[in-house]
Structure 1
Amino acid sequence: MLETARYEVEGRLRGSVVLSVGIALLGAFYVAMWPSFADVDLDQFLEAWPPALRELFGVESLASIEGFLATELYQFVWVLLLGLYVAYSAAGLIAGDVERHRMDLLLSLPVTRTRLLFEKFASLLAPILLANVVVPVVVLGSVLAIGETIDVPALVAVHVLSVPYLLACGAIGLVLSVVFDRADVANRLALGVVFGLFLVRSVTAVADGYEWIGRLSPTAYYDPTEILVHNEYDLVGAGVLLAATAVLLLVARWQFRRTDLDG
């Protein structure tokens, strides 16, 4: 059972470790920078920023280490860059095998198309979960090392609630992976779609009458700043992201099975 998932996890294990360690070190670097900004009234500078720019970078307050990390680490690196990475990785799951002519071999094994698709998607949990274990431990340790404190439950919640968000990004990439049979096309489109949704959410959040368009973006349902700065956990949003992931997986399954039957 789960042979495909194990094989995929083993194949991306080294990359997952490098990714997790890299983000963790970046988080430690941001924490180390905090003492040099602690006595500066950064919020005064934020008032001069246009609302659209503040929304784009998720900047609400830099007066606390939680607000500083929410802006510097989580809103940009976690929400945008990690979301792009997961979507990019997912976009190559099926298209890559089709392009390399490995899919016929895989489908000749005693495994259903649905199981193959879902196990490949499940392999994305390796980098997602590893990063969500390594990074908060390093961030917390770094904060304590400089003599500061951070809301531990909020830090844990930021990472736990990011899992549905990252899965939704991965599901977007998976749909593109079964629609296109060239990995490079699917990869680029996955990056474009996730980044485009990020921009749409940021712009429409400050545009009267267009907020509903921004609700189509996964970033509308996961906000690290609200969690770290205000201790507000959007559990409904997490449920919406999980539901959207399930719908996208069903769409990918339907397309994958249809393409196989036609081909």
Structure 2
Amino acid sequence: MFELTRYDARHRVRGSLYLSIGLSLLAAMVIWVYPSFKTEVDLDQLIAAYPEPIVQVMGVETMASLGGFLSFELYTFGWIILLGLYLAYSTAGTIADDVDRGRMDVLLSLPISRRRLLGERFAAMAVPIVGANVVPPIVVYVGAHLIDEPLAATDVLAVHLLSIPYLFACAGIGLLASVGFDRAGIAQRVALGVTFALFLSESLLTGTDADAVGAIAPMRYYDPNAILLEGTYNVADAGILVAMTVALVVAAQLWFTRVDIA
């Protein structure tokens, strides 16, 4: 059982290791530049100089503390945008790539249902999602102490643990695109476009009359600012992201059971 999950997971280990190293280096760089930024630049004045739409899109509250600086420079940019887009893109090739390359007939000849096949392939995405959150929190916690700007270990741990449901939701968007299109390139571009459009809708519509539209965006339910600046952990939002992921996976499974594989 879970043979496909194990097979896919093994093939994602190396890429996940490189991803974790890259994110750790990004975290180390952000922490390293913070003291010089804090000394030489009035960070809140710098924020005030940005156009209001940019500040709203990036969710900047303050950069006068290391927590606020990390929330903007590392977690909004690195986790919410880059990592979310990467996982949507990567997952979008899960089914579409096999269909595109003519390998899906072989997989469907195995004595497993289409729903199980899809579920096991998606489960393998836990490797890059969890892997991306193993080393970086250690780098952030240790680095913050090295520059005498310590962060609470619980806050650092929470900002990474609560990113996992968010990243699974982004992967769920990619999975649905992977089933909806039989060309990997198209599925991946659609997943990227939809994920980024959801990010923009959540950022720009919050506080407007169309605020309810942003409720479908996973980004609404993961807030690094609340965690790092206020020490607030919204477990209910994590539950919404889990439910969103389940809904996306079930929708993809239902679609996959009805689609004809050319």
State the TM bucket, normalised to the shorter chain.
over 0.9
Q: Is the 1:93–1:177 contact (alpha carbons within 8 Å) kept by the matching residues of 2?
A: yes
Structure 1, residues 148-205: CA drift from partner, whole Å, max 9, x if none? 3112111111111111111110011101101111000000000000001111111112
TM-superposed deviation, 1:72: 0.3
Q: Does residue 1:252 correspond to 2:257, yes or no? A: no
Letter in 1 for 2:183: R
Q: How does 1:105-254 map to 2 (within 5 A)?
A: 105-206=106-207, 208-254=208-254
Letter in 2 for 1:231: G
Q: Which ranges of structure 2 fall in alignment gaps of 5 or more residues?
A: none
- TM-score norm. by structure 2 comes to 0.96
Q: Distance in 1 between matches of 2:59 and 2:209?
A: 20
Q: Distance in 2 between matches of 1:233 and 1:144?
A: 22
Letter in 2 for 1:13: V
TM-superposed deviation, 1:112: 1.7
Q: Report the equivalent of 1:50.
A: 51
Q: Distance in 2 between matches of 1:52 and 1:161?
A: 26
Structure 1, residues 44-103: CA drift from partner, whole Å, max 9, x if none? 222333332212112101111111101000001110000001000110000011111111
Query: RMSD of aligned C-alpha atoms?
Result: 1.3
Q: Distance in 2 between matches of 1:56 and 1:124?
A: 28
Q: Report the equivalent of 1:7.
A: 7
Letter in 2 for 1:165: Y
Q: Distance in 2 between matches of 1:242 and 1:59?
A: 26
Q: How does 1:92-111 map to 2 (within 5 A)?
A: 92-111=93-112
Q: Is the 1:75–1:225 contact (alpha carbons within 8 Å) kept by the matching residues of 2?
A: no
Q: Distance in 2 between matches of 1:77 and 1:132?
A: 12
Q: Distance in 2 between matches of 1:73 and 1:45?
A: 17
In the TM superposition, structure 1's runs of 4+ consecutive aligned residues that sit over 6 Å from their partners are: none
Q: Secondary structure at the match of 1:63?
A: coil
Q: Distance in 2 between matches of 1:241 and 1:103?
A: 30
Q: Distance in 2 between matches of 1:128 and 1:82?
A: 9
Letter in 1 for 2:200: L
Letter in 2 for 1:168: A
Q: Distance in 2 between matches of 1:144 and 1:130?
A: 23
Q: Does residue 1:38 correspond to 2:38, yes or no? A: yes
Q: Distance in 2 between matches of 1:211 and 1:52?
A: 15
Q: Is the 1:92–1:177 contact (alpha carbons within 8 Å) kept by the matching residues of 2?
A: yes
Q: Distance in 2 between matches of 1:34 and 1:46?
A: 15
Q: Which ranges of structure 1 fall in alignment gaps of 5 or more residues?
A: none
Letter in 2 for 1:118: G
